[in-house]
């Protein structure tokens, strides 16, 4: 069964079409990668999926329910977690408090019920040493890890990762990918936008290529990467 299904989702900003008749589905526990040139509408697609912006037409189903007009906080409660390309921690809260807020409000439970799980997530994401540090003082890698940890605290069934590996060193990237693989292995569905292809391809089962707001290919990573159209558009290779 599909956890997320988009049907003919379109969105325009004035004359600029950022999403055109987008149709695809993600199965429960599946990992889908999204690639495309800058300005292809990848982050906009995430904003449509998690409800930050409303589509002009089309429908979005999540966990069997139509969520097209449902506000972001309700989508979070029904199991959709998201990280931002530019990490947005609550800077004046400690790392642990960042998770506690997400854990308590994202699942509508008491802080005392979620605090143990929040601590586990900090261990899993390698942030436990920084638990009582104000989030404003973290480095880029730590901020990206916090972004991931905070999304996990809301207990998502589907995790939207927006260029989480961008700007990291090779070593940092490898350890982050290992963390994401571990999360995926626990049955969390993942949609991951990324330019770092080798990182992406080591996790996802399918790739979706976006170009000027249109889906121009979806399928197994090696098939997609072998396709002539994708190579021309995305990699800029003349064949």
- The smaller minimum CB distance to other proteins, of residues 54 and 178, is found at 54
- The smaller minimum CB distance to other proteins, of residues 81 and 217, is found at 81
- The smaller minimum CB distance to other proteins, of residues 65 and 237, is found at 65
In the complex, minimum distance from the CB of residue 109 to other proteins, in angstroms, rounded to a whole number? 10
In the complex, minimum distance from the CB of residue 53 to other proteins, in angstroms, rounded to a whole number? 11
Cβ pair 191, 62 in contact under 8 A: no
- The smaller minimum CB distance to other proteins, of residues 96 and 234, is found at 96
C-alpha torsion 28→103→82→75, nearest 10: 70
In the complex, minimum distance from the CB of residue 142 to other proteins, in angstroms, rounded to a whole number? 17
- The smaller minimum CB distance to other proteins, of residues 68 and 224, is found at 68
Binding residues (CB under 8 A) for other proteins: these are 50, 52, 71-73, 76-77, 82, 84, 88, 90-93, 97-98, 100-102, 104-108, 110-111, 150, 154
In the complex, minimum distance from the CB of residue 72 to other proteins, in angstroms, rounded to a whole number? 5
């Amino acid at each position: 069964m599909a956890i997320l299904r988009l049907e003919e989702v379109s969105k325009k900003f004035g004359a600029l079409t950022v999403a055109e008749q987008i149709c695809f589905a993600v199965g429960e526990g599946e990992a889908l990668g999204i690639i495309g040139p800058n300005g292809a509408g990848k982050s906009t697609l995430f904003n449509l999926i998690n409800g930050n912006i409303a589509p002009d037409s089309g429908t979005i189903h999540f966990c069997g329910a139509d969520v097209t007009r449902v506000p972001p906080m309700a989508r979070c409660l029904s199991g959709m977690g998201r990280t931002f390309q530019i990490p947005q921690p609550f800077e004046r809260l400690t790392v642990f408090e960042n998770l506690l807020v997400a854990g308590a409000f994202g699942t509508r439970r008491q802080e005392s019920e979620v605090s143990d799980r929040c601590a586990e997530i900090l261990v899993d994401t390698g942030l436990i040493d920084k638990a009582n540090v104000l989030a404003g003082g973290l480095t880029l890698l730590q901020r990206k890890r916090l972004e991931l940890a905070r999304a996990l605290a809301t207990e998502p069934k589907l995790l939207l990762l927006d260029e989480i590996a961008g700007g990291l060193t090779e070593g940092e990237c490898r350890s982050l990918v290992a963390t994401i693989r571990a999360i995926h292995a626990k049955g969390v569905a993942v949609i991951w936008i990324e330019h770092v292809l080798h990182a992406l391809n080591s996790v996802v089962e399918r790739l979706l290529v976006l170009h000027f707001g249109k889906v121009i290919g979806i399928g197994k990573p090696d098939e997609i990467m072998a396709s002539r159209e994708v190579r021309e558009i995305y990699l800029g290779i003349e064949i």
